[in-house]
Amino acid sequence: MRIVPYAAVLIVSTSLAFAQQPAHGPAAGSTEVANASTEQRVQDLLSKMTLEEKATMLSGSSWMDSAPISRLGIPAIRMADGPMGIRNWTGPSAVTNAEGTRTTINSTAFPAGIAIAASWDPELAREEGKALGAEVAAIGRDMILGPTVNIQRAPLWGRNFEGFGEDPYLTGRLGVSYIEGVQSQGVIATVKHFVANNEEFERHRIDVAVDDRALHEIYYPAFKAAIQEANVWSVMSAYNKVNGVYCAENPLLKSTLEKAWNFQGFIVSDWGSTYSTAATVNAGMSIEMPGGPPMQTWLLRPETKKSGNDGGYLTPEKVLPLVKSGAIPEANLDDNVRRILRILVESGLIDHPHTRTGSIDTPAQRAVARKGAEEGLILLKNSGNLLPLQAGSLHTIAVIGPNAAVDRSGGGGSSLVHSSLLVAPLDAIKEHAGSIDVRYALGVAMPGEDPTQDTPEARKTLRDAAVAAAKSSDVALVFVGYSSKFETEGKDRETMDLPDGQDELIQAVAAANSKTIVVFNAGDPVTLTRWIDQVPAVVDAFYGGEEAGHAIASALFGDINPSGKLPFTFIKALKDSPSYGNYPGENLHVNYAEGIYVGYRYFDKHVTVAPLYPFGYGLSYTSFEYSGLKLPKTYNGHNPLEASVTVRNSGSRQGAEIVQLYIADPHASVDRPVKELKGFRRVVLAPGESKTVTFALDSQALSFYSTAQKQWIAEPGRFDVLIGASSRDIRQKASFELTK
Ligand code: GLC
């Protein structure tokens, strides 16, 4: 079989439109740089800079600011965490105002990345990015440290809630839209953390061994799409090593980001993740963070110290002697500085530094948070159609659990946002319940949140009260899961199990009331198997931001119809995970031995290991029928191949279905996954309504990465197109022949 190099069949479309919208950088592989006038301005500024000024720009001036060169009107870039809202709580990095100091602001707490992923709605991601970008500009800052696009490889990774799940295509689509939303506001988005940052365990010291094909097919795509499609203005390098070299000084920065993908923006380090001067500058690092006096405080952190990082590697004191000695060619210094200047010009920041222009936490931004929370929750189980609750026929509702009276808006660490407007499920249910009697019982405290409740006696009292409430109510709602202390940056979960005491609470309540509904907060799989058969209805609410309570109540009472689908495989037990045995690694070495077989790619090959719920799965209060898949019999690799399918709402109420398109290449010359997600569309349908959904496929969608030929290859021969309501609920299938 002839192998056709993918590049030979790709239609290269270059878009050189530059306007207020994010300037779409030059197409991949083209040599033009961004907007010509930008380059002239950049070159003009660079030529005026002294060597000292250029060196000054390579290291931050504070926790969250780059270094300004006032003499030339070059402003500091004022950064802020995090991916789902402006960080406004304790922690030195929680800088939230133009003056660079920390003042408490009530920024909008948007849903976590995993909830946006569960929505499978790129337009929602764009809206969130836009709303967040507007808030950053409104407080006079210039750059948001998000999105997080690291793949959910390990079920216990503390930051799974921040990312968009296990699939590179889904992650890429959402990342691109989010970045375009942020940058449409003239705010710099920072796609992070490049690359293979998939566990918190010893993140400053671990060395990830990952093969080239897994990098290209699993861990790179979202970064590549961010650069080549969204024209992302900055990339953050990760803490860990990849194949023996720290990310902050890894040759991948130049070889992959800058040369292969033609990245025009600048690279910023993760905080306290640089370990050398010449190697780091020569690798392409533009801004080491944090900088200035705070760097020293930062370095006192235990995990930073343990890694031997004594910080401040890119300060002028260290850089200048190495430029003079030639260890750092001045051309490298110039290129790193040029990239910062280019984005300052292209983003408009050099002409219009942000002032407190807009406003934050507006009803409009709050509405975006609510839409995200509503679209980002998943109905996992609904036996006997217990849900939606029929308010008219209910007299008493028991609302139980440690996550009932608290809005678990997000996971912990740099992405956490404390809004003053958090809505807990209990409050929203009370608002909704009208004359229904709502009986609240804590049931069990979140471990560590209330030590007085952690004694055996207190726990018995709490549980007895919860059982009594359940016994005397028409239905029992149990709200469990984690808090931002249990699922957080800086540490991984120790187990898939729910926090101590929650399984027993659920079992006791389910024994007391056959109409028990469990709603849980987590960013990844949790152990459900101990009680899933005793509980008729289960909702995965992830971390829904400040409006989570309203979204959950609306879904339970049927004001909205849940439409979320799993962005990761929901496994039964940790030992089923593809990374099991290769997580968290041995002696600080983590071997990604599963290669490309992450998530559903693995389970489709190892059919004896059945997940509890498959990737792409989620229920609805209505039902959908698929018909009429149409696509040409042959495809010559030119012009997109169009596949269309009709979806009908065969139920009695409006709903949104996420139609998924998978590709199979059964005759590939290399081992390939049984199927790979290459298209999806969220379609809203009234009862009885039909819509035809069209997908456009190109050769890239059919390709695998050949490590032998170091390029993407689409091999001629038969391909299958699978249309599914989940990765394991394939409703339509058709084949075509790729002729060349
Ligand atoms: C943190 C995180 C990164 C964050 C940065 C600034 O350690 O890894 O995501 O943006 O440092 O707080």
**Closest residue to atom 6 of ligand 1, CA basis:** 271
Residue partners of 657: CB distance under 8 A and separation at least 6: 563, 620, 624, 647, 649, 682, 683, 685, 725
Residues with CB under 6 A from ligand 1: 81-82, 93, 145, 192, 270-271, 414
Q: Measured on CA atoms in the order 35, 40, 45, 46, is the torsion positive or negative? A: positive
- Taking the CA of residue 197 as reference, the ligand 1 atom at the shortest distance is 8
Predicted local distance difference test score (pLDDT) of residue 36: 61
Ligand 1, atom 9: closest residue by C-alpha: 414
CA dihedral sign of residues 725, 727, 731, 733: positive
Rounded CA separation 437/720 (Å): 54
Which residue is closest in CA terms to ligand 1's atom 3?
A: 270
Q: Which residues are catalytic?
A: 270
Q: What atom in ligand 1 is closest to the CA of residue 490?
A: 7
> Which residues, given as ranges, of the chain have pLDDT below 50?
1-34
The C-alpha atoms of residue 147 and residue 155 are separated, in whole angstroms, by 20
Distance in Å, CA 306 to ligand 1 centroid: 18
Write the CA distances from 164 to 108, 640, 730, integer angstroms.
20, 27, 23
CB 687 within 8 A of CB 731: no
d(CA 76, CA 85): 21
Helix axes 502-512, 456-471, angle to 10 degrees: 30
Is 430 exposed, middle or buried (CB count within 10 Å of its CB: 0-12, 13-18, 19+)? middle
Q: Tell me which residue has its CA closest to atom 11 in ligand 1.
A: 271
Distance 158 CA to ligand 1 centre (A): 13
Q: What is the DSSP letter of 11?
A: -
Structure tokens at 407: 């809005």
> Which of 84, 162, 414, 416 has most ligand 1 atoms within 8 Å of CB, for mutation?
414
271 Cα: distance to centroid of ligand 1 (angstroms): 6
How far apart are alpha carbons 720 and 738 in whole angstroms?
10
**Ligand 1 center from residue 673 Cα (angstroms):** 33
- Both ends of the chain: CA-CA distance in Å? 10
Q: From the alpha carbon of 238, which atom of ligand 1 is closest?
A: 8
Collect all residues with Cβ–Cβ distance below 8 Å to 435 and sequence separation of at least 6. Answer: none
**Top mutation candidate among 145, 157, 160 for ligand 1, by most atoms within 8 Å of CB:** 145
Instruction: Report how far ligand 1's centroid is from the alpha carbon of 291 (Å).
Output: 14
Give the number of other Cβ atoms within 10 Å of residue 195's Cβ: 27
Give the number of the atom of ligand 1 that is nearest the alpha carbon of residue 93: 12
CA atoms of 278 and 51, how far apart (whole Å): 15
Strands 641-649 and 690-697: antiparallel
SS3 696: strand
The sign of the dihedral angle between the CA atoms of 208, 210, 212, 218 is negative
Mutation to probe ligand 1, out of 271, 301, 309 (largest number of atoms < 8 A from CB): 271
79, 81, 88, 299: which to mutate for ligand 1, most atoms within 8 A of CB? 81
Atom number, ligand 1, closest to the C-alpha of residue 146: 10
**β-pair partners for 590:** 208
Q: How far is the CA of 82 from the centre of ligand 1 (A)?
A: 8
Residue given tokens 């000024």 in the structure block: 53
Residue nearest to atom 7 of ligand 1 (CA): 271
The predicted model scores a pTM of: 0.94
Query: Residue 414 Cα, ligand 1 centroid: separation in angstroms?
Result: 6
Distance from residue 436's CA to the centre of ligand 1 (Å): 45
List Cα–Cα distances, 479 to 367, 407, 506, 550, 685, in angstroms: 24, 10, 9, 14, 30
Atom of ligand 1 nearest to the CA of 414: 12
Closest ligand 1 atom, CA of 239?
8
